[in-house]
Amino acid sequence: MGGPTRSLRLYLIQCIVVAIVCVIGFLTVLSYVQATGQLAEQDQHLRAQTGANAVESVRLVDEGLRVVDDSMNRELTRAFIPFLAAYDRAGGDPARLDLAALQQECGAEVEGRLDLYVISADGAIVASTAPEVLGLDFAARFPDYYERLRGIMANGTFSADRVVRSVTNASTGGVTGELRKFAFIPAPDRRNLLELGLSSPILVDDRSRLSYVAAAGRAMALNPDVTRVSVYDAQGNLLAENGSASAAPVDAGTALLLDRSLGGEDGIEVREANGSVRQFLRVDLNDAATASDMALVLELDYSHRLAAAQAGGLLLFHLATGAAAIVIGVVVAFGVGRYVSRPVAAIVEDVEAIAGGDLDRRIRRMPNREFEQLVEAINRMVATIRQYGTELERRQAEVAIAAEIQRAFLPRALPDAPGFDLAAVSRPAREVGGDLHDLIPLTAGRIAVVCADVSGKGIPAALFMALTRTVLRAAASRYAAPAKVVRAANESICEDAGERGTFVTTFYGVLRPERRTLRYVNAGHNPPLLLRASGEWETLEPTGPALGLLCGAEYAEAEVALDDGDLLLLYTDGVSEAIDAAEKEFGEDRLRAVVAAHRGATAAAIADAVLAAVDAHVAGAEQFDDITLVVCRAIGEG
């Protein structure tokens, strides 16, 4: 048996709550996903805007720094006058220049330290007041820078560079030295390029008022997600970090990203494992009039704190909204469940009273149209059931009478047959059946043995069985020969059967105790089984068609001797064709085995053994057909 079932009210509440939870959950998740998607787009847009503002700020600062850098151009132009004169006196030979004396003479025109350089047409520093860079080969170390120097030499005029970091020494070529202002002028013979390098505190002070670092650092104030702003020069040197100057080394991963950015790939974004984003922006500040590469790279690191806080707020809002909607839905579900279940409970109460036998009880009226229709249908059904019940009781009474009448047709006591032990049993599949067995006393101590099976079941078959018994007994009282009895019965049955197609398989035999024989006619019936005392089996095969099939049919007679210990079993197909739950038939082989196993018992015991074996085979399955057995056992007369 199953477990306790849920009430309709609880079932409705559960269904409504589940539906509400699913819908609210889906809408909440969908809304949250859309909102977080919008936040991600806003975050991306804010990063782009922040980067654009940072780049623009650097450009504006660079315009101011350009003015500061160019403020020393006039002094440097005057400083080249003695340099050119000395070069001319030396006959264009850098080795003959007195650079130390010339450094003091040229430095008088400017405030700060002034170094002199002579760069050959091949791009190497062949003379300089800074011995650490003597021999530096620009063509090999800085080919792009060398190309710009060649352009200045070809132009033949004064050219001032921006304030940039200087090369530390010729061996390493690293551009990490102090800030200097460089200016160039080709020698008159165009074989060398003269260069001045000014290191002035005035330049440093003026540039400190206009700083790339400060400009990029404003991004941190404008965007709370910015956690770090780093500025790198064209050589990949870290100039500043978070608003402060810095000369910290650059790791290999960052160096690769800087190379990509300086190579022209702008707007690089790298997402770290912790969810932060590193953004690299190239700021092109180059000028065709200057020799140095003034490009910068800004690195802005974003933490997503603002987006995370907004997403957390959205999550709480959606969770609170969803929870409130679920609570409201549960309350509504309880109300709906109660509204629906109360009429159902009332209907159930009335139906239980009707089921208890109160068929006069009417279902009470309901407040809504659907339940009222149900009530009307149930009331009509109860009225119909009451009517059918009355009719059923009448028919059951009629069937009971018919069953009693049929039992009256069967022999109440078996006739005495000297030398034979007789037994007969019949079990209908319904209240009444269509099987027939009869033992008819005849003259001279003879006994007619009848076993018949009417086609069909129920009352029609029972009525035809009664007809068959009547005509057989009537014919047996007129004729002694079995063939004449069966022929007369067939004619009568054919007249009464008409076109209904009903027929009767019949075995009719006459036991002759004085001869210890059985003379018989088998009219289409199951061949009876004859088990000899020797253990051999014989069957009494049909000698003509079933009664009612063919009017005017002829029937042959046959005779068998029944000696002591012989056993004859007559049966209907309800025995051999009895089926179990798997629809497997009992079969003739099992029937023979049961008879052989009990051959020494009385006829009645053998009949009981066969019935028990059939019952064991079907194992409680519904009886499919009527069952009839007649057992005749030949015994000694003493």
Which tokens hold the place of 238? Answer: 């870290």
Which tokens hold the place of 628? Answer: 């009839």
- Using H for helix, E for strand and C for coil, what is the string for 372-434? HHHHHHHHHHHHHHHHHHHHHHHHHHHHHHHHHHHHHHCCCCCCCCCCEEEEEEEECCCCCCC
Taking the C-alpha atoms of residue 207 and residue 61, their distance in angstroms, rounded to an integer, is 10
Which tokens hold the place of 117? Answer: 């350089």
Is residue 184 within a helix (H) or strand (E), and if so which, with residue range? strand 179-186
Taking the C-alpha atoms of residue 381 and residue 357, their distance in angstroms, rounded to an integer, is 14
Domains in the chain, CATH or no CATH each? 73-199 (3.30.450.20), 413-634 (3.60.40.10)
Provide the pLDDT confidence category of residue 448 given band limits of 50, 70 and 90: very high
3-state secondary structure of 188: coil
The model's pLDDT over 299-347, given as tens digits with 9 standing for 90+, comes to: 888 887 766 666 677 667 767 777 787 778 777 767 766 666 666 666 6
The model's pLDDT over 365-397, given as tens digits with 9 standing for 90+, comes to: 766 666 677 667 777 776 777 776 666 565 555
Q: Which amino acid is located at 433 in the chain? A: G
Helix axes 8-70, 212-222, angle to 10 degrees: 160
The model's pLDDT over 535-562, given as tens digits with 9 standing for 90+, comes to: 999 999 999 999 988 889 999 999 999 9
Is residue 466 within a helix (H) or strand (E), and if so which, with residue range? helix 458-478
CB 517 within 8 A of CB 562: yes
Give the long-range contacts of residues 37-45, CB within 8 A, separation 24 or more. Answer: 39/307, 39/310, 39/311, 39/314, 40/307, 42/307, 43/225, 43/302, 43/304, 43/306, 43/307
CB 606 within 8 A of CB 420: no
Predicted confidence (pLDDT) at residue 364 exceeds the cutoff of 60: yes
Which tokens hold the place of 149? Answer: 């120097």
Helix axes 369-409, 305-355, angle to 10 degrees: 40
State the pLDDT at residue 318: 67
- Percent of the chain at pLDDT > 90 equals 28
State the pLDDT at residue 67: 79
Predicted confidence (pLDDT) at residue 260 exceeds the cutoff of 80: yes
The model's pLDDT over 207-244, given as tens digits with 9 standing for 90+, comes to: 655 566 666 666 666 777 887 888 888 777 877 777 66
3-state secondary structure of 506: strand
- Phi, psi values for residue 565, rounded to 5°: 90, -10
* CA-angle at 64, arms to 58 and 67, nearest 5°: 140
Which tokens hold the place of 638? Answer: 């003493």
Which tokens hold the place of 182? Answer: 């460089």
Predicted confidence (pLDDT) at residue 635 exceeds the cutoff of 50: yes
Closest to 236 measured CA to CA, from 214, 212, 254, 213: 254
Beta-bridged to residue 196, according to DSSP, are 116, 183
Residues in the chain: 638
* CA-angle at 108, arms to 103 and 109, nearest 5°: 110
The model's pLDDT over 466-499, given as tens digits with 9 standing for 90+, comes to: 888 889 999 999 999 999 999 999 998 888 765 6
State the pLDDT at residue 1: 44
3-state secondary structure of 577: coil
Taking the C-alpha atoms of residue 262 and residue 233, their distance in angstroms, rounded to an integer, is 9
Closest to 371 measured CA to CA, from 348, 333, 335, 344: 344
Taking the C-alpha atoms of residue 480 and residue 442, their distance in angstroms, rounded to an integer, is 9
CB 632 within 8 A of CB 603: yes
Write the CB contacts of 15 (distance below 8 Å, at least 6 apart in sequence).
none
State the pLDDT at residue 8: 60
Give the mean pLDDT of 442-470.
86
3-state secondary structure of 291: coil
Match 């654009």 to its residue by tokens.
52
Pairing mode of beta strands 504-512, 517-523 = antiparallel
Predicted confidence (pLDDT) at residue 638 exceeds the cutoff of 50: no
Q: Would you list the DSSP string of 548-600?
A: TTSTT-----EEEE--TT-EEEEE-HHHHT-B-TT--B-HHHHHHHHHHHTTT
Taking the C-alpha atoms of residue 95 and residue 92, their distance in angstroms, rounded to an integer, is 9
Give the mean pLDDT of 501-517.
92
- Phi, psi values for residue 560, rounded to 5°: -130, 150
- Spell out where 490-607 has E strands: 504-512, 517-523, 529-531, 537-539, 558-561, 567-571
Taking the C-alpha atoms of residue 444 and residue 562, their distance in angstroms, rounded to an integer, is 18
Taking the C-alpha atoms of residue 342 and residue 609, their distance in angstroms, rounded to an integer, is 59
Predicted confidence (pLDDT) at residue 85 exceeds the cutoff of 50: yes
Taking the C-alpha atoms of residue 513 and residue 97, their distance in angstroms, rounded to an integer, is 167
State the pLDDT at residue 594: 95
**Residue 425 burial by CB count (10 A; 0-12/13-18/19+): exposed, middle or buried?**
middle
Taking the C-alpha atoms of residue 163 and residue 285, their distance in angstroms, rounded to an integer, is 13
Give the mean pLDDT of 188-204.
85
Match 């991306």 to its residue by tokens.
44
| CA 209 from centre of chain | 67
Q: Which amino acid is located at 240 in the chain? A: A
Looking at 164-296, list the stretches that DSSP marks H as alpha helix, in order from N- to C-terminal side.
201-209, 212-222, 252-262
The side-by-side arrangement of strands in the sheet containing 159-165 is 125-128, 113-120, 192-199, 179-186, 159-165
The model's pLDDT over 277-296, given as tens digits with 9 standing for 90+, comes to: 888 888 887 776 677 777 88
Taking the C-alpha atoms of residue 59 and residue 47, their distance in angstroms, rounded to an integer, is 18
